[in-house]
């Protein structure tokens, strides 16, 4: 018998490539023989732009890296800049940063779960559930900073403004609501026979492979490695809060889903403690707007998708000499080709969905 | 020569009535599907055109009629043009033998159920032709998946229909309804099992979730009809909803007593049962994820087919015992 390989171009316009990812797949029937991801369709030269902007001016650009979790990007950049400049934010600002970062983590995980279920063919219903709940977080952010997607809320040395009146009640209401509504997701997906059959033991990512490829975040924790920067290298005031690092057992797609589900609960726990212990004071930054940058600093934080690192090099002038972003999705995507070889095309879509990549921070 | 004008005229009218029902029913079902999915997903669904969006589908139809009919470059033109007809025409033909009530049936063939089963299985040809003729790799994969799926689920489907035929002792649709005057077939345990097998296989036959593998939006964009636009696309679309009606109508007739009900008019009972089944299928569609191709195939051959075969044997044994 003579077999012929079929080359399929999946993307850059395809319903389940999560943005403008282009996968060149070689198929034998429906089995993937080779997968070559091509990136760069969303490249905006953000790192290069940083070299002609002051640190304050660069803040809105970080919103556009991982646009699902802008607050967390703001946070990573702020902390890197503060490390370079030797600034510490006021306690109230630090608590506020934790609150918005964790709220954004919940929003991001909700969207990841929704799109993952969508990739498995659950026609939009879980996605609409996720969007419905994420909308509540977006409304809170809208009240806090006036934006719904690109928040630009954090400032070097603090935050843009204090919590407006009524915002803490909104957050409390949201937490009560989300705790009430999470079982609905479990009913719809977690125990669903078809959902389990499609995702359990599919795309198993062994511990060693994950570490070798630099996979981080929920994907790494699903493979059983308890590595969470909030716990292992605590920044801000995370060491004051009581929360667990969630890990999975097998590292399959279902575990990656499950880790995200449980991390939502942990994040809610953190928000509750941070809101309860919110110190008085002025969170608004009282620092100069122009800095002379000397030396270099690298700061990594735990983004919803993994370790987000900012490396800033200064040469004495007001602009950075070089700014490098270490984006978690880039490492998470690079493991994809190794994972999906020999797989059915349907499973490949499942694995891609479970890795939860955002093209904005891969291309930068 | 003596031409039976009256009979011809009545045949023509019946044909027009079937076509009208085909179109209106499909439009109603699309509206219903959009409303049910909206309800499940905390949305409103169509609300603007007409009361509760009831006229939305008319607007959509006008739009589809006016759309350009794009033929992909290097498509196999003849096959590509014929495919929508191969899908739509058999589904219209299947309406001929659906008993809406004692009087409302176009042709009560003595092999009615056999006719419906055989003519609807022609649809797979159209689906495969569309996949092949489009000159698109996604469509080709969709078409191949569909052929494999429909052929495998045909077996348990027909075996479950066979159980009803054995119980009723007739192939005529009206005959099957009359055989249930003493009690619906689904009240007997062996036929209830057949009902279950029939519903699963029929869902697979019409490519609906969780068996919408040929269309698998997240994998194959939209499978075999990716390249179709305008009226040709809407023929696939109409046929899909007409097929949904047919499998539900057959299920209602075979297992739920067809148009039988305590009060007149009986067509009312028939439609309630059919739309009840359809709503159930829609509920399933908007709730469950999709199974994988190989999981679905092994389910058909390793679970459903043996189960249906055993069911046929048990039914035969029970009937032999009776008489």
Span B125-147, pLDDT tens digits:
888 888 888 877 778 888 888 88
Answer whether A344 sits within 8 Å of B42, measured CB to CB.
Answer: no
Answer whether B218 sits within 8 Å of A347, measured CB to CB.
Answer: no
pLDDT of residue B221: 64
- Any idea where the domains of chain B sit in the sequence? 93-322
3-state secondary structure of A24: strand
Partner-chain residue, chosen from A119, A122, A349, that has the shortest CB–CB distance to B288: A122
Span A159-190, pLDDT tens digits:
888 888 888 888 989 989 988 888 888 888 88
Answer whether A123 sits within 8 Å of B216, measured CB to CB.
Answer: no
Q: Is the CB of residue A115 less than 8 Å away from at least one CB of chain B?
A: no
pLDDT mean over B144-161: 86
First to last CA, chain B: 50
pLDDT mean over A328-345: 86
pLDDT mean over A253-269: 91
Partner-chain residue, chosen from B37, B210, B286, that has the shortest CB–CB distance to A194: B210
What b/e sequence results for A163-196 when a residue is b if at least 16 CB atoms lie within 10 Å of its CB, and e otherwise? beeebeebbeebbeebeeebeebeebbeebebbe
pLDDT mean over A223-231: 88
Yes or no: say if A6 and A326 are a contact pair by the CB < 8 Å rule.
no
pLDDT of residue A311: 93
What percent of chain B clears pLDDT 90, i.e. is strictly above it?
6
Q: Which residues of A touch B218 (CB under 8 A)?
A: 15-16, 118-121, 349, 353
Query: Given pLDDT bands bounded at 50, 70 and 90, which one contains residue B257?
Result: confident
Answer whether A30 sits within 8 Å of B293, measured CB to CB.
Answer: yes
Rg (CA), chain B: 20
Q: What are the backbone angles phi and psi of residue A294, rounded to the nearest 5°?
A: -125, 140
pLDDT mean over A74-81: 91
Minimal C-alpha gap between A114 and chain B (Å): 12
Minimal C-alpha gap between B47 and chain A (Å): 18
Strand-pair partners of A27: A6, A32
Whether the predicted pLDDT of A1 surpasses 60: no
CA-based nearest residue in chain A for residue B137? A8
* Complex ipTM tops 0.90: no
Partner-chain residue, chosen from A132, A189, A194, that has the shortest CB–CB distance to B291: A194
Q: Say how far apart CA B241 and CA A294 lie, in whole Å.
A: 68
3-state secondary structure of A23: strand
Answer whether B290 sits within 8 Å of A14, measured CB to CB.
Answer: no
pLDDT of residue A292: 83
pLDDT of residue A298: 92
pLDDT mean over A351-359: 87
Whether the predicted pLDDT of A3 surpasses 70: no
pLDDT mean over B80-102: 86
**Average pLDDT along chain A:** 87
- What domains lie within chain A, and their CATH numbers? 40-363 (1.10.645.10)
Query: Given pLDDT bands bounded at 50, 70 and 90, which one contains residue A310?
Result: very high
Yes or no: say if A347 and A202 are a contact pair by the CB < 8 Å rule.
yes
pLDDT mean over A74-90: 89
Query: Given pLDDT bands bounded at 50, 70 and 90, which one contains residue B218?
Result: low
Minimal C-alpha gap between A3 and chain B (Å): 16
Token pair for residue A364? 């930068």
Q: Look at the pTM and tell me if it is higher than 0.90.
A: no
Query: Given pLDDT bands bounded at 50, 70 and 90, which one contains residue B215?
Result: low
CA-based nearest residue in chain A for residue B38? A125
Lowest-pLDDT range, A7-21, B3-17, B257-271?
A7-21
Q: Give residues with Cβ within 8 angstroms of A255, minimum separation 6.
A: A222, A223, A248, A249
> Packing angle between helix B266-285 and helix B5-40, nearest 10 degrees?
40
Find where tokens 């479990």 sit: A186
Minimal C-alpha gap between B43 and chain A (Å): 9
Minimal C-alpha gap between B243 and chain A (Å): 20
pLDDT of residue B306: 92
pLDDT of residue B216: 62
Answer whether B292 sits within 8 Å of A6, measured CB to CB.
Answer: no
Span A110-120, pLDDT tens digits:
999 988 888 88
Q: Give residues with Cβ within 8 angstroms of B244, minimum separation 6.
A: B29, B206, B208, B278, B281
Question: What secondary structure letter does DSSP report for B49?
Answer: S
* Element (DSSP H or E) covering residue A136: helix A125-145
Q: Say how far apart CA A233 and CA A230 lie, in whole Å.
A: 6
């Amino acid at each position: 018998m003579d077999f012929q390989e079929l080359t399929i171009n999946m993307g850059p316009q395809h319903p389940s490539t999560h943005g403008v990812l282009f996968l060149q797949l070689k198929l034998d029937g429906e089995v993937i023989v080779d997968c070559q991801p091509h990136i760069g369709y969303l490249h905006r030269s953000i790192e290069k732009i940083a070299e002609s902007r002051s640190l304050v001016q660069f803040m809105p650009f970080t919103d556009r890296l991982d646009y699902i979790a802008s607050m967390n990007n703001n946070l990573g950049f702020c902390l890197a800049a503060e490390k370079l400049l030797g600034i510490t934010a006021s306690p109230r600002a630090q608590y506020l940063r934790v609150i918005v970062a964790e709220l954004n983590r919940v929003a991001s995980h909700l969207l990841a779960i929704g799109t993952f279920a969508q990739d498995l063919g659950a026609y939009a219903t879980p996605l609409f559930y996720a969007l419905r709940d994420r909308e509540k977080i977006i409304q809170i952010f809208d009240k806090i900073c006036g934006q719904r997607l690109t928040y630009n809320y954090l400032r070097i040395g603090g935050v843009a403004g204090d919590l407006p009146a009524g915002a803490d009640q909104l957050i409390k209401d949201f937490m009560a609501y989300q705790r009430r509504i999470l079982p609905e997701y479990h009913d719809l997906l977690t125990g669903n026979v078809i959902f389990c059959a499609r995702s359990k033991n599919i795309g198993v990512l062994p511990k060693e492979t994950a570490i070798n490829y630099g996979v981080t975040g929920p994907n790494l924790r699903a493979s059983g490695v308890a590595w969470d920067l909030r716990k292992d290298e605590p920044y801000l005031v995370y060491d004051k809060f009581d929360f667990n690092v969630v890990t999975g057992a097998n590292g399959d797609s279902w575990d990656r889903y499950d880790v995200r589900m449980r991390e939502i609960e942990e994040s809610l726990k953190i928000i509750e403690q941070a809101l309860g212990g919110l110190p008085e004071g002025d969170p608004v930054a009282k620092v100069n707007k122009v800095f002379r940058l000397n030396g270099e600093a690298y700061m990594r934080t735990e983004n919803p998708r993994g370790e987000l690192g900012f490396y800033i090099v200064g040469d004495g002038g007001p602009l950075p000499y070089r700014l490098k972003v270490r984006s978690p999705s880039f490492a998470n995507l690079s493991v994809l080709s190794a994972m999906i070889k020999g797989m059915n095309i349907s499973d490949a879509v499942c694995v891609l969905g479970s890795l939860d990549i955002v093209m904005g921070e891969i291309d930068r | 020569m003596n031409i039976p004008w009256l009979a011809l005229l009545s045949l023509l009218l019946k044909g027009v009535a079937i076509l009208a029902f085909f179109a209106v029913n499909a439009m109603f079902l699309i509206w219903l599907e959009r409303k049910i999915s909206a309800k499940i997903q905390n949305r409103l669904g169509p609300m603007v055109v007409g009361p509760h969006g009831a006229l939305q589908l008319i607007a959509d139809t006008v739009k589809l009629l006016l759309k350009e009919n794009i033929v992909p470059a290097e498509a196999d033109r003849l096959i590509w043009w014929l495919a929508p007809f191969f899908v739509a025409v058999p589904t219209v033909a299947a309406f001929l033998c659906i008993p809406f009530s004692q009087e409302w049936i176009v042709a009560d063939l003595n092999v009615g159920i056999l006719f419906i089963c055989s003519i609807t299985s022609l649809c797979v040809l159209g689906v495969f032709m569309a996949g092949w003729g489009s000159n698109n790799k996604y469509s080709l994969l969709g078409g191949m998946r569909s052929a494999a799926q429909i052929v495998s689920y045909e077996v348990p489907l027909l075996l479950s229909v066979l159980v009803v035929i054995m119980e009723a002792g007739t192939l005529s649709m009206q005959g099957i309804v009359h055989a249930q005057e003493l009690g619906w077939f689904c009240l007997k345990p062996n036929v209830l099992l057949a009902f279950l097998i029939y519903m699963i296989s029929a869902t697979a036959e019409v490519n609906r979730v969780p068996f919408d593998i040929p269309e698998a939006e997240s994998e194959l964009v939209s499978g075999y009809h990716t390249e179709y636009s305008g009226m040709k696309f809407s023929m696939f679309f109409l046929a899909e909803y007409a097929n949904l009606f047919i499998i539900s109508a057959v299920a209602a007739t075979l297992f739920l007593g067809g148009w039988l009900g305590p009060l007149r008019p009986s067509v009312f009972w028939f439609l309630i049962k059919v739309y009840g089944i359809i709503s159930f299928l829609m509920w399933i569609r908007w709730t469950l994820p999709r199974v994988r191709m190989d999981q679905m195939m092994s389910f058909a051959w390793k679970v459903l087919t043996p189960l249906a075969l055993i069911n046929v044997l048990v039914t035969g044994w029970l009937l032999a015992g009776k008489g």
